[in-house]
Structure 1
Amino acid sequence: MAPAGGIDVMLLLIGASGVVFGLLGLGLRRSVGPVTAFAVAGFLWSLAIIAVLTLLPTDPDVGIVPAEGRSTSCSMDYGGPAPDGFWVFAAGQRLLNTVLFVPAGALLVLAASRWRIGWVVVPLGLVGLAAYSVAIELIQLELARIDRACDVTDVVDNVSGAGIGVVVGLVLVLVFRPWRHRR
C-alpha cells in the first residue's frame, strides 16, 4: 500500500501542482498579461499547497485513530494544542500557520488589482480565505485518520497571515502595476 502522507508525498504533490498551475499561468499570459496570469496561477497554487500541508498526515504510518480517541470538538483554547515545532522548520507552528497564508493574500491582491472591481474582490477574497481556514479545521476535526487537531488558534493565525499578505500584495501592486498589461 502506498503511503498516504509524509513529507515525500507532500513535496511530490506540491511539485506536481506547481507544474499544473505554472502551465495555467502560461496559458493565461496572452489574455490577461503575465503579472495577472501568474498571480492567478500562484494564488491557486498557494491554495493547493495549503491543502496539502494541512490535510495530509505528516507521518505516512499514522495508523487508525480510534473513534473514542479522537476529539469531538475544536479546541477553543487560544494557543491550543499546537506543538512548538513542525516537520521542516524549527519555528513555532503558530508562525508557520501565519506564513502559510501570506502568499495567498498577496497573490489575491495582485491577481484582482488588474480590474476595477478588485477593490470589492480583495475583501471578499480575504473572507474566502478565512472560510477556507475554517473549512480546513473542520475537516481536520472530522477526519481522525489524518491525525491533525482542530484549533481556533490556527484560524486566527491563518487569517492574520492572509491579512499580512494583503498588505504585501498592495506593495507588490505598486511595483508590478498589472493594469498596464491590458489587451
Structure 2
Amino acid sequence: MVTIGGTGVMVLGVLAAGIVSAVVGLALRARLGTVSAVAISGLIWSLAAIAVATLVPTRADVGIVPADSRSDSCSWDYGGPNGAAFEGLGFDQRTLNVLLFVPAGMFLVLAVGRWWSGVVLAPIGLALLAAYSVGVELMQLQLARIDRACDVTDMVDNILGAGVGVLVGVLLLPVLKPWRGRVTKVLG
C-alpha cells in the first residue's frame, strides 16, 4: 500500500507552491509593481499552503481509514479535540488554525489595496476566505478516509485568522503603499 502524508510531504508541497507563486510574482512585477506582485503571489501561495496543510494526512502511516469507520458528518462540538499533530511547533491545533489563515487575509488586502475598488473587494475576499475554510472542512469530510475530520471549531478559527490577517493588511497599507509602482503604458 502506498501512503503519502506527514509533515515532510506538507513542507515539500508548501515549498513547491512557493516556487510557482514566486514565478507568478516575478511575471506580475513589471506590470503591477513589487508590492502588488508580492501580495498577489503571496495570496496564491497562502491558499495553496492552506490546501496542502489541511488536505494531506498528518502522518504517512495513516493509510486509508475504512469506509465504515469514517465520520459521515461534521463535528459541531465547539472547542473540538485538541490535536497533538503539531505540538512540536509549540502551538496547539486551534492556534495553528488561526495562524494558517492570517497570511491569506493580509495578502488579500495588500493585493486589492492598490485600487479604490479594494474597499469593496477586501470584504468580499474575506467572505470568500470564509467560504474557502468551509470548503476545506467539507472536503475533509468527503476525504475522511485520509484521517482528516470536518470540525466547526476549525472553521471559526480559520475565519478568525483571516480576519486578523485583514486587519494586519489594513495596518500595512499606508506603510507599503501598493498603489505606488504602477507602470502606465500609453498605447499609440
Are 1:168 and 2:168 matched, yes or no?
Answer: yes
Q: Deviations over 1:116-159 (max 9, x none)?
A: 11011100000000000000100111112220111000000000
- Match of 1:91? 91
Shift of 1:84: 4.9
Where does structure 1 differ by over 3 angstroms across 4 or more consecutive aligned residues?
none
- Match of 1:58? 58
User: Is the contact made by 1:104 and 1:162 (CA closer than 8 Å) also made in structure 2?
Assistant: yes
Q: 1:85 to 1:59 in 2, by over 3 A?
A: closer
Q: With structure 1 as the length reference, what TM-score do the two structures score?
A: 0.95
- Match of 1:103? 103
Identity %: 58
Are 1:14 and 2:48 matched, yes or no?
Answer: no
Q: With structure 2 as the length reference, what TM-score do the two structures score?
A: 0.93
Correspondence 1:1-183 to 2 at 5 A? 3-84=3-84, 86=86, 88-183=88-183
The code of the aligned residue for 1:66 comes to P
- Match of 2:186? none
Shift of 1:81: 2.6
The code of the aligned residue for 1:89 comes to L
Distance 2:174 2:30 in 1: 22
RMSD: 1.3
Aligned residue pairs: how many? 183
Shift of 1:82: 3.4
Distance 1:16 1:87 in 2: 24
Give the gaps of 5 or more residues in structure 1. none
Q: Deviations over 1:18-54 (max 9, x none)?
A: 1111011011000011100010000000000000000
Distance 2:78 2:150 in 1: 12
Distance 1:3 1:36 in 2: 39
User: Is the contact made by 2:58 and 2:85 (CA closer than 8 Å) also made in structure 1?
Assistant: no
User: Is the contact made by 1:85 and 1:91 (CA closer than 8 Å) also made in structure 2?
Assistant: no
Q: Deviations over 1:41-99 (max 9, x none)?
A: 00000000000000000111212211221111101111113325525412111010001
Distance 2:68 2:87 in 1: 27
